[in-house]
């Protein structure tokens, strides 16, 4: 097994600050992973993603297997070389996108067949094929193949889905053990049901993984319901392994999850918002299309240290979006990624200082400002 180690440097309540060490570099936790769906963090050069503070990014197995293709990627030297990102990459298993984006989806014990949303071609993904694709991409952290349980789900449906995912998790591990590449994370399922989450956690630990993800959240249940699950789900997972909450989220989601013991996050929100004129600031969100910004000479956020806030006004960014200029989306994406990475650093620092509860109260209070 290639190098993979996780160390917790400090705790404050349930919150943890630590470090994941891998062959391609270290990841400071709590960590936010910008999403590089199609071998690019949209609107950003890799060096600028790194400059914002990211130690690791996420790649999407579903999108990359369809275009340009995993075997082609391997022939070209793997995802790191292809996109010029030398640091760690986590790849998801493709299961969520197969269910949400694929057409004519047919699921059975062996795996899932589906029709590509790009060109209509038919594909089949099993746990073994998902692991193979991620290995061809050269991923540093590989995710076990699972079914993302739909929400809402009855207990019977959630139980059936979870147990299928656990069988697939074992097959994912068996396939992965034939490789010396990176680390494999298992994914806890069980929807909103505590007993199912406990069963899932126990089955995953019987199999054994380098890290553990909490799946099946951020699927429409709302923040309060998500936090109710996070009040018990992280503690079911091993304390000496990283805990990854998949697909989350808003800054307030991240703060609440860190307070409940989560170490890793990913979400398209900062980049997607950047393309739709929404900026994250300490005082809430701003819509740069709003007319009130047309003659505003102030930066997006006077307390932000990013290059965008140092050099450009709200008026200029408003103009770029009104004029349909691509630079607007690029600059706002850069600012949003900096905002998220600054938040993660502040969370790490406050955990180390033993002040995370006060920091969270302060940040959440400022975020409560009405949207711009």
Identify the pLDDT of residue 2: 56
Please provide the DSSP assignment of 295-312 as one string: T--S-S-TT--SHHHHH-
**Domain 4-267, what architecture?**
Alpha-Beta Barrel (3.20)
The average pLDDT across 87-102 equals 86
Per the CB < 8 A criterion, the answer to whether 137 and 70 are in contact is yes
Q: Tell me the per-residue pLDDT of 275-322, one tens digit each, with 9 for 90 and over.
A: 999 999 999 999 999 999 999 999 999 999 999 999 999 999 999 999
Identify the pLDDT of residue 100: 77
The average pLDDT across 77-96 equals 95
97 vs 335, more confident: 335
The average pLDDT across 59-77 equals 96
Q: How confident is the model at residue 1 (pLDDT cuts 50, 70, 90)?
A: very low
Phi, psi of 146 (to 5 degrees): -145, 170
Token pair for residue 223? 């923040």
Identify the pLDDT of residue 20: 98
The average pLDDT across 176-191 equals 90
Which residues are identified as catalytic?
Answer: 92, 266
The average pLDDT across 324-339 equals 98
Does the reported pTM lie above 0.95? yes
Angstrom distance (rounded) from CA 291 to CA 273: 18
Identify the pLDDT of residue 222: 97
Identify the pLDDT of residue 369: 59
252 vs 3, more confident: 252
Q: Does the pLDDT at position 30 exceed 70?
A: yes
33 vs 114, more confident: 33
Q: How confident is the model at residue 370 (pLDDT cuts 50, 70, 90)?
A: low
Q: How confident is the model at residue 124 (pLDDT cuts 50, 70, 90)?
A: very high
Q: Tell me the per-residue pLDDT of 308-320, one tens digit each, with 9 for 90 and over.
A: 999 999 999 999 9
Over the chain, what is the mean pLDDT?
95
Query: Where are the domain boundaries for CATH 3.20.20.105 in the chain?
Result: 4-267
Residues 6 or more apart whose CB falls under 8 angstroms from that of 191 comprise 149, 151, 152, 153, 155, 158, 161, 162, 216
Q: Tell me the per-residue pLDDT of 198-239, one tens digit each, with 9 for 90 and over.
A: 999 999 999 999 999 999 999 999 999 999 999 999 999 999
Angstrom distance (rounded) from CA 277 to CA 266: 20
- Burial of 37-70, coded b for 16+ CB within 10 Å and e otherwise, reads bebbbbbbebebbbbbbbbbbbbbbbbbbbeeeb
The average pLDDT across 176-193 equals 91
């Amino acid at each position: 097994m290639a190098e993979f180690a996780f160390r917790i440097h400090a705790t404050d309540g349930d919150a943890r600050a630590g470090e994941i060490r891998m062959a391609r570099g270290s990841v400071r936790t709590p960590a936010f992973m910008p999403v590089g769906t199609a071998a690019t963090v949209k609107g950003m050069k890799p060096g600028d993603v790194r400059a914002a503070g990211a130690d690791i990014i996420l790649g999407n197995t579903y999108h990359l297997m369809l275009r340009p293709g995993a075997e082609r990627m391997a022939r070209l030297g793997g995802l790191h070389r292809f996109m010029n990102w030398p640091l760690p990459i986590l790849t998801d298993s493709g299961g969520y996108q197969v269910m949400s984006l694929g057409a004519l989806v047919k699921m059975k014990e062996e795996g899932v067949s589906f029709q590509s949303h790009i060109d209509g071609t038919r594909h089949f993904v099993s746990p073994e094929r998902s692991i193979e694709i991620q290995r061809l991409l050269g991923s540093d952290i590989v995710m076990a193949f699972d079914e993302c349980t739909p929400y809402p789900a009855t207990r019977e449906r959630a139980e059936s889905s979870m147990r299928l995912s656990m069988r697939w998790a074992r097959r994912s591990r068996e396939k992965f053990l034939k490789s010396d590449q990176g680390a494999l994370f298992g994914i806890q399922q069980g929807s909103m049901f505590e007993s199912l989450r406990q069963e899932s956690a126990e089955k995953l630990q019987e199999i054994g993984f380098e890290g553990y993800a909490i799946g099946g959240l951020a699927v429409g249940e709302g923040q309060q319901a998500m936090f109710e699950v996070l009040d018990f789900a992280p503690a079911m997972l091993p304390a000496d392994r990283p805990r990854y909450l998949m697909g989350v989220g808003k800054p307030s989601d991240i703060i609440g999850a860190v307070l409940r013991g989560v170490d890793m996050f990913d979400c398209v929100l900062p980049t997607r918002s950047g393309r739709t004129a929404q900026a994250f600031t300490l005082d809430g969100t701003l819509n740069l299309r709003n007319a009130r910004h047309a003659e505003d000479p102030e930066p997006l956020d006077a307390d932000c240290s990013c290059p965008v806030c140092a050099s450009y006004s709200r008026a200029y960014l408003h103009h770029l979006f009104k004029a349909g200029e691509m630079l607007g989306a690029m600059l706002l994406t850069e600012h949003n990624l900096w905002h998220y990475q600054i938040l993660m650093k502040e969370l790490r620092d406050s955990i180390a200082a033993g002040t995370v509860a006060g920091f969270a109260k302060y940040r959440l209070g400022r975020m409560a400002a009405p949207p711009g």
